[in-house]
Amino acid sequence: MYLNKRKVILVISVSVLVLLFSYIDVKSQDIQITDGDTIKIDGEKIRFSGIDAPELKQTCLKNNVIIFCGLEAKNLLIKIIDNNDVICVYEGKDQYRRTLAECFLGDLSLSSYLVRNGYAFAYRKYSKKFIQDEEFAKENKNGLWSTEFEYPWLWRKK
């Protein structure tokens, strides 16, 4: 009986520690926006899991005018974060050793916001989480859905 109580206490303690270490909580003034789906917090590169935004040099065509859609995605992220507190939920590391996380402003998922507004795409190869947000953006022609664009993962292959 005594051994079972020790195991329960150990499991609870480990669970609490894992939960505590899975959150990164900093003020927005400590954040650098790299692009539409990557930020740096205190020098740690954090890639938003489950989405893919256009690359900074990537262009789209809107009303026969070339626009830098990757830069627009970055600027939207800069605008929404502003000086707000960002909380990221750690989900692992990617093949480039970047931290994978979903980041929030209060209850607002930045990933969901970017996809729903049409400046990032559900990265279905890795996650199904943001498909409904993408379908909403597509149906409403939000953001890049009102342009001629190439998915970022296809653009990078070129």
Over residues 58-116, the pLDDT tens digits come to 999 999 999 999 999 999 999 999 888 899 999 999 888 889 999 999 999 999 999 99
When pLDDT is averaged across residues 31-56 and rounded to a whole number, the result is 94
Rounded to whole angstroms, the Cα distance separating 115 from 126 reads: 15
Domains along the sequence of the chain with CATH: 2-153 (2.40.50.90)
pLDDT value for 16: 40
pTM of the model: 0.80
Contact in structure between 33 and 74 (CB atoms under 8 Å): yes
